[in-house]
Amino acid sequence: MRKDGIQEYTLDADATEIMGEKTDALFTYNGNKGYMPMLGFLYENAVCLLDEFREGNVAPAFGQKEFYLRCKQRMPRGKRVGYYRGDSASYQAGLFNQLEEDGVKYGVTVDQDKAVNR
């Protein structure tokens, strides 16, 4: 990253379901036993900036703003998160307000239901 010439990176943040057969694994929102780690990838160079282990019963929407802030802290000096991409789990005012305060452009993909359209 020191030599890539990029100053602003795109952070892709998403939880991913990992099915597991351990007796202590908890059920995910999909009804599968397993885990739901949160991952933050930098799009431009496919680096996983942060991975956060989560039990299966932890909703992907949990702690989105805090996850972003931890990713932001991990950026090397002179580099920054300039863009943020997420799915419906990232559709949260606290996260949006923080991104705007930091000058980060963002796009979040959500279903177009009545609540979103309002």
Q: Would residue 66 count as lying in a domain?
A: yes
Q: Would residue 13 count as lying in a domain?
A: yes
Cα torsion 73, 79, 80, 84 to 10°: value is -110
Q: How many domains is the chain built from?
A: 1
Q: Would residue 98 count as lying in a domain?
A: yes
Q: Would residue 3 count as lying in a domain?
A: no
Q: Would residue 78 count as lying in a domain?
A: yes
Q: Would residue 42 count as lying in a domain?
A: yes
Query: Pairing state of beta strands 18-19 and 105-108?
Result: unpaired
Question: Between 112 and 102, where is the model more confident?
Answer: 102
Domain that holds residue 14: 9-117
Per-residue model confidence as pLDDT tens digits over 27-76: 999 999 999 999 999 999 999 999 999 999 999 999 999 999 999 999 99
| Residues in CB range of 111: below 8 A, 6 or more apart | 88
Q: Would residue 1 count as lying in a domain?
A: no
Task: Return the CATH number at 65.
Answer: 3.30.420.10
Beta strands (DSSP E) in 6-72 are 8-15, 18-19, 26-27, 33-35, 38-42, 47-52
Per-residue model confidence as pLDDT tens digits over 84-104: 999 989 989 999 999 999 999
Q: Would residue 96 count as lying in a domain?
A: yes
Structure tokens at 45: 């160079």
| Residues in CB range of 25: below 8 A, 6 or more apart | 33, 34, 35, 55, 56
What pLDDT is recorded for position 109? Answer: 82
